[in-house]
Chains A and B, each alone.
Chain A
């Protein structure tokens, strides 16, 4: 697993090494190869080295869903490519038409965006379609998805993808049907802002970066986790399923929850967007960088996911 210092989240500390004595802050751009430690994220083409070499046998096969209003597919695709996998972009309706089989993949990514325009509640309509619409085989897709999980597959959802997974009942997956919901933010506003969140080292999803504090953007109007009842809540807490938590709650989410997994850790959903932080230069504070370049936390998280999938399929 990659271990590097997280990007300075607090203003007071700033980035390490910012002082008169340290090397000029912007000089790392001049001769990248000479100055970067091996596999440094900023070194040209180094991103691929951190993952698998192209077409490596161990690189998991990733299905990235797109279409029907999802809209983060370009950067999600790029992210998995940067992680060394060969992702495949698949329109949801191609999956419905039986043109792809989940058997060929180890990881299914439910992409962020506004499936069906968030009508009737975010993620709701796409989830309904997966649950209820018969496919060519006569069975709804939820069966294929459950079989995929039973055979050791991974499902990862971001933002609208997370909302879809909760409406499907796959998250937290401790009882049949839907047991949690992502309600409108407490202030009723869509908000785009960068937040700090932490990965619980004891949660089944800790492989995403145990104990790490990550800086990532949230971009949603409906991200407030609401739990159906006390029984579900108690189970979720005891099994440590709410594995990614905001340091400062931006939306009224229960338990400061930013991300959630099922018991096996094979289904994960999160509101913050890791695929929007693939380069250190996405961060709102990148230009305060010192001699040490900040880490692209989103790529870090996804790389950990890909590595874990490759070792646990």
Chain B
């Protein structure tokens, strides 16, 4: 108890309020940190208590205000408040964690609102800090380590430390804005290539020489010089350089996916030229699929690739539009895992909100996360965080982003690999629904005319995230500038989302877009292409604080902002509604048809650039790629007497063990539409294949959502890794009861997939990236598979993203992610009540394996236990897969399937085990003779397979549908035992409880 805090001196300035928990159990975070500090850092803290601190900047609290702080700023039952920093004999050290100036202090802003509400005058500025009281006396090394790894991030926090005997280190640094307002022209000679490269490097433009030359050539053009002269400009301004750098960044222009690639297969000697992977693979496959449906009059593709997210028309009443986008946020998550992930999820929310007219109602979130293993033991490089902390932060960010926006997280996956220890991969997805029409307008269109207003709505602008777009195009390193860290504010965004939906419903919005990478420069730059120009007045942009250079205002990636387009007559309505809803909303410019992006600050001209050149002038890259079959061999493993120990080891392995400790932190119920959730069954421990949500409360129409990602196969064969990932996404949806799309079927389901590629640097450089050609070759093969699978199954890409510089460090210290592709799929479901879950239902049901198993242990989880890769990667046999999926759909429609679980990591045995764990029902399994060894049959990860259970009375009907594609394995039993035999030899024998223990995931 912290009751004896001493008396307060009335004479002191009361500018701080310290809140102490009245009982340590009211503040459980300290206890968790204490455990973490001991386990992860080996620091014994003794009791650790987190205390909120409020700082009233340049203000001394009156007695009345002090009373109000006690009662209203914190819960008076849980906290007691002191206005001087009390010492408590129990705590020998204290660490203060403060946000750096300029970093969003959400809680402080809310406290200011509370003050303003009460005293009806503008509040003093309030900043919040966290004070950690530590029982033990820490050394300087200890507190620094504790503070910078567990309590905060030096990129966004300042730390100070005190001991009871008065030792003090590091008072907080004052923030002095140093950048003067005004125009800046870099004193750089444009004449030499060296100077251009130097400029690109020092200013973090991430542009190569050819691109810099193209920009130089633009500014040297006669016509350009003439119209610049008319505007009072000559040399390129800092603002203009920055606009080029971000518009031409890899992030925005996808230069490698649009490059001309010369591919040589080193094994066969064959070579070919690929005219843009995006056009010739991704877009082309979608065009082909769309054409097949269009010919039959069944096109459902409304918009693909040319808006913030793709749109498909759902085959249900009112033909609502489904908006669907999956994005990555890798670099920000490497720098600050919590902020990176939360801005990732909030950012993709805004993509969905900013598609078409905008204001789409968010339906659900998904996420797929790739981390280094928690047991990662290599020495950490400068700036590298241990995967455990990365995971903790990222999961918390996903949690707060989704939960606080009120969007259910319905589906996800976590993949572990040593090579994600440098940069994690954080894929965030969001779907939204829009009605077909909004007022008289078609909801998916973006009509903009000269004279329409440019409105910025949402948060204010600070230095957050400057250079995000260009930095995601370079390798992360210790010197990566700190301003690129953006801090998310889900509550600001929730206010904004509600406001936008209302404004769109009232027809005051013509269209809108998200302010993501590149900020205003990117959002206005893209929208201006529609009308043919824009004038922006930066002096009207609301700022968080003074001291921003004009180009920083234009480029800032301060979060939770949308750019809205409205007719000038509606601008006042918008402003008033925004004021009522407590959202910042300002007209900052006008769209024109001059052909130029015209940026001003008061009378000063900051930029005047041809939109045509800005968007189409980037020189095309020409890249070399090589394909080479990896040299592989099958391992010789010892003979196994029993597979039980293997099964238990696999159940506890990183890629298979329970995700419940993560999933239970995400809200998957909000909005009340979730039908098949990530975990189902009597104690919610049964992992599911695909999520199912219904669309409203009146019908049972819905969607199934799945993810396919198997990067470990890429080491054996990138083509089959990509094809297998695609198949995984398809079969998960088939498993819950989805039906493959069919252009010839009048009642065809609607399917859509987002592709997300994450690669290390694929641009060959003899020194920095000697195997660049092989990496690009892998990408080419991954895209080949995408094309083959999409066109075979008739599933169009509607959106996607590539993240191309996922390396950390440099030289032989470089940690590069394995080439990774994620396919995020959605299919329409006619009646969600007919869907099937993965766990067993009743003893007595028969268990079947559907689909054929091959000698395909290559890249399997079981080989990974022995640190082996093997040679035979699982292949997708497309025609067989389609046949099996169609049969599964027939069995599902006939309601013959009691349960269905797709086979993936760990193969057949793991799927059977998970269904038993999730239901508490035992299984007795007699393996048929298949010509494969029991080891192969149980652990091979051949694609397009399912473990299903069927009622005995349905046996004949099931078998008549499945024919030779189903193999009877055994029967479910009341007794919770898990037993697999073959010709009277016991292969696996354990209890469901033992498996559950190994798998983990018990909630306390």
A→B interface (CB under 8 Å): 11, 14, 18, 20, 24, 26-27, 29, 66-72, 74-75, 78-79, 81-82, 91, 93-94, 97, 112-114, 116-121, 124-125, 128-129, 131-134, 167, 178-181, 183-194, 217, 219, 226, 228, 252, 273, 275-279, 281-282, 284-288
Using a CB-CB cutoff of 8 Å, which residues 640-686 of chain B contact chain A?
663-675, 677, 679-684
Which residues of chain A come closer than 8 Å to B76, judged between CB atoms?
178
Q: How far is the CA of A148 from the CA of B675 in the complex (A)?
A: 38
* Residue B844 interfacial (CB < 8 Å): yes
Asked if B672 and A278 make an inter-chain contact with CB atoms under 8 angstroms apart, the answer reads yes
Asked if A114 and B77 make an inter-chain contact with CB atoms under 8 angstroms apart, the answer reads no
Which residues of chain A come closer than 8 Å to B831, judged between CB atoms?
29
* Residue B953 interfacial (CB < 8 Å): yes
* Residue B832 interfacial (CB < 8 Å): yes
Q: Which of B26, B78, B110 contacts A117 (CB 8 A)?
A: B110
* Residue B117 interfacial (CB < 8 Å): yes
A-B contact pairs, 16 of them (CB 8 A): A11-B683, A14-B842, A72-B406, A82-B697, A93-B580, A113-B406, A120-B110, A125-B110, A128-B72, A179-B77, A183-B26, A192-B664, A217-B669, A219-B670, A287-B835, A288-B681
Size range of the chain B interface in the assembly: 35 or more
Query: Measured between C-beta atoms, what is the minimum distance from A284 to chain B in Å?
Result: 5
Query: Measured between C-beta atoms, what is the minimum distance from B364 to chain A in Å?
Result: 13
In the A-B complex, the 3 residue pairs with the closest CB atoms: A71-B406, A75-B672, A117-B491
Q: How far is the CA of A217 from the CA of B106 in the complex (A)?
A: 29
Query: Measured between C-beta atoms, what is the minimum distance from B886 to chain A in Å?
Result: 20
Which residues of chain A come closer than 8 Å to B683, judged between CB atoms?
11
* Residue B567 interfacial (CB < 8 Å): no
Which residues of chain B come closer than 8 Å to A18, judged between CB atoms?
842
* Residue B765 interfacial (CB < 8 Å): no
Asked if B404 and A114 make an inter-chain contact with CB atoms under 8 angstroms apart, the answer reads yes
Q: How far is the CA of A178 from the CA of B494 in the complex (A)?
A: 28
Q: How far is the CA of A81 from the CA of B677 in the complex (A)?
A: 25
Asked if A67 and B404 make an inter-chain contact with CB atoms under 8 angstroms apart, the answer reads no
Which residues of chain B come closer than 8 Å to A128, judged between CB atoms?
72, 114, 117-118
Q: How far is the CA of A1 from the CA of B230 in the complex (A)?
A: 80
Asked if A181 and B495 make an inter-chain contact with CB atoms under 8 angstroms apart, the answer reads no
Using a CB-CB cutoff of 8 Å, which residues 669-728 of chain B contact chain A?
669-675, 677, 679-684, 694, 696-697, 700
Asked if A188 and B664 make an inter-chain contact with CB atoms under 8 angstroms apart, the answer reads no
| A97-B580, A117-B110, A275-B672 known; A129-B117 Cβ under 8 A | yes
Q: Which of B31, B491, B677 contacts A188 (CB 8 A)?
A: B31
| A120-B107, A190-B403 known; A167-B75 Cβ under 8 A | yes
Q: Which of B680, B841, B951 contacts A284 (CB 8 A)?
A: B680
Most buried by A among B495, B672, B673, B684: B672
| Residue on B nearest A71 in the bound complex, by CB | B406
Q: List 14 additional contacts besides A117-B110, A117-B491; criterion CB under 8 Å.
A: A27-B895, A29-B833, A74-B671, A75-B671, A78-B672, A91-B498, A132-B117, A178-B76, A184-B28, A190-B399, A192-B666, A278-B697, A284-B684, A287-B836
B→A interface (CB under 8 Å): 25-29, 31-32, 72-78, 106-107, 110-111, 113-114, 117-118, 120, 361, 399, 403-406, 489-491, 494-495, 498, 580-582, 663-675, 677, 679-684, 694, 696-697, 700, 831-837, 841-842, 844, 895, 899, 920, 951-953, 1003-1004
Asked if B74 and A120 make an inter-chain contact with CB atoms under 8 angstroms apart, the answer reads yes
Asked if A20 and B844 make an inter-chain contact with CB atoms under 8 angstroms apart, the answer reads yes
Q: Which of B697, B920, B953 contacts A20 (CB 8 A)?
A: B953
| Residue on B nearest A82 in the bound complex, by CB | B697
Which residues of chain B come closer than 8 Å to A282, judged between CB atoms?
669, 672, 674-675
Which residues of chain A come closer than 8 Å to B672, judged between CB atoms?
72, 74-75, 78-79, 275-278, 282
Which residues of chain B come closer than 8 Å to A79, judged between CB atoms?
672
Which residues of chain B come closer than 8 Å to A81, judged between CB atoms?
697
Asked if B895 and A26 make an inter-chain contact with CB atoms under 8 angstroms apart, the answer reads yes
Asked if B110 and A121 make an inter-chain contact with CB atoms under 8 angstroms apart, the answer reads no
| Residue on A nearest B672 in the bound complex, by CB | A75
Which residues of chain B come closer than 8 Å to A192, judged between CB atoms?
663-669
Query: Measured between C-beta atoms, what is the minimum distance from A187 to chain B in Å?
Result: 6
Asked if A120 and B28 make an inter-chain contact with CB atoms under 8 angstroms apart, the answer reads no
Which residues of chain B come closer than 8 Å to A287, judged between CB atoms?
680, 835-837, 841, 899
Query: Measured between C-beta atoms, what is the minimum distance from A88 to chain B in Å?
Result: 15
Q: Which of A26, A82, A93 contacts B581 (CB 8 A)?
A: A93
Most buried by A among B74, B75, B679: B75
| A26-B895, A69-B494, A124-B75 known; A186-B111 Cβ under 8 A | no
Q: How far is the CA of A50 from the CA of B106 in the complex (A)?
A: 45
Q: Which of A120, A193, A281, A284 contacts B833 (CB 8 A)?
A: A281
Q: How far is the CA of A116 from the CA of B673 in the complex (A)?
A: 24
Asked if B406 and A132 make an inter-chain contact with CB atoms under 8 angstroms apart, the answer reads no
Asked if B582 and A93 make an inter-chain contact with CB atoms under 8 angstroms apart, the answer reads yes
Asked if B494 and A191 make an inter-chain contact with CB atoms under 8 angstroms apart, the answer reads no
Asked if A191 and B26 make an inter-chain contact with CB atoms under 8 angstroms apart, the answer reads no
Asked if A228 and B77 make an inter-chain contact with CB atoms under 8 angstroms apart, the answer reads yes
Q: How far is the CA of A307 from the CA of B367 in the complex (A)?
A: 41
Q: How far is the CA of A127 from the CA of B841 in the complex (A)?
A: 46
Q: How far is the CA of A86 from the CA of B645 in the complex (A)?
A: 60
